[in-house]
Amino acid sequence: MNGTIPVTVIVMTRNEAANIARCLAPLAPFAQILVVDSHSEDETPAIAAARGAEVLSFRWNGMYPKKKQWCLSHPSIRQDWVLFIDADERITPELVAEIGLLMQSGPSHNAYFVDSRPVWLGRLLRHGTPYRKIALLHRRRARFPICPDLHVSRMWEVEGHYQPMVDGTLGHLSSPLIHADAKPPADWFDRHNRYSDWEAALADGGGAAALLAGEHGLRYLAKRLMARLPGRPLLAFLHAYLWHLGFLDGKAGLHHALSRAFYYWSIDLKRDWLAATAATRQSDISGALLSDVADQPALALSSRSPASVFTSSKVRRRTDSSGIR
């Protein structure tokens, strides 16, 4: 598969047999195609090897660096320029040509944003909120920030939804990737359930700042504002369906806009649940301390008040099980 474009394409996989063949098919023009597999239980490594990709095994040790940064630093990479592609993404001929011309003329930036257009219900969406990420970068001039998420019970081995920090300027490629997951909707729900767990835990635990470490300019301001606005699910829907004309994509556009609203609602619900649970625990601790004081006769005479009957150990206090479900 080795081609002439001096870029290493990295495809990170785990159980991606449904997607990997179609992902690898258009990558032949690139100098190196590296599939970094996390011990898949399906045929992903065999399919990748059969199509000429180099397969590198990755097992996360539960610490930093996580998978993307580990890939950037690995000695198997033969090119300084790296293109990260997900297994459920397809590179378009136009994007291949654009990257080829860029490498031929010499990049003027150290990393580039690439847009991604999703496929929903078998239809490539032309409208709706675009996805944009730093996918093409010089591996010696970019690094992924450490996000304090090791405490998140449902975290995973790959860096989440945040951009790498880049030394220097950023560019933007005009040709898109196509995001076309062949897995059923249940996999989408499973994946985004974990994503929302992770984002809610970071927001509740003060890790939100790390998610913005690689952002700049208007993107930084927009993401920071979006994180603080009430009614995010409704705003996300209107942004995709009306502002970006998602309604022109018919039923598929409606489902896409609703999925964005659902995702933000999941994050907000879980974030508020975590806050309510923490408040309940604090209330239980405070009630227990007051009960201990009231149970001591010498202190009870001097500190007991009419309201203290509500904090007595004889009165049933709330527990974690009485919180939000």
CB 56 within 8 Å of CB 35: yes
Using DSSP bridges, classify how beta strands 5-13 and 81-86 pair: parallel, antiparallel or unpaired. parallel
Whole-number pLDDT of residue 278: 85
Is pLDDT at 267 greater than 70 in this prediction? yes
Least confident of 177-186, 214-223, 249-258, 278-287: 214-223
- Given pLDDT bands bounded at 50, 70 and 90, which one contains residue 250? very high
Whole-number pLDDT of residue 321: 37
Is pLDDT at 311 greater than 70 in this prediction? no
Using alpha carbons only, give the angle 213, 158, 136 rounded to the nearest 5 degrees.
65
Torsional sign, CA 295, 300, 303, 305 = positive
Q: Which residues of 183-195 are buried (b: 16+ CB within 10 A; e: fewer)?
A: beeeeeeeeeeeb
Rounded to whole angstroms, how far apart are CA atoms 93 and 112?
A: 17
Q: Is 175 exposed, middle or buried (0-12, 13-18, 19+ CB in 10 A)?
A: middle
Rounded to whole angstroms, how far apart are CA atoms 33 and 248?
A: 37
Of residues 238 and 285, more confidence is placed in 238
CB 224 within 8 Å of CB 212: yes
For residue 248, what is the DSSP state? G
Question: Cβ of 225: how many Cβ atoms within 10 Å?
Answer: 9
The residue ranges of DSSP E strands in the chain, in sequence order, are: 5-13, 30-37, 54-57, 81-86, 89-91, 111-120, 123-124, 131-138, 142-143, 165-166, 170-172, 177-179
Q: Which residues pair with 124 in a beta bridge?
A: 119
Rounded to whole angstroms, how far apart are CA atoms 276 and 267?
A: 14
Identity of the highest mean pLDDT range in 155-164, 219-228, 229-238: 229-238
Whole-number pLDDT of residue 153: 76
Whole-number pLDDT of residue 308: 40
CB 284 within 8 Å of CB 318: yes
Question: Cβ of 163: how many Cβ atoms within 10 Å?
Answer: 25
For residue 81, what is the DSSP state? E
CATH number of 5-184: 3.90.550.10
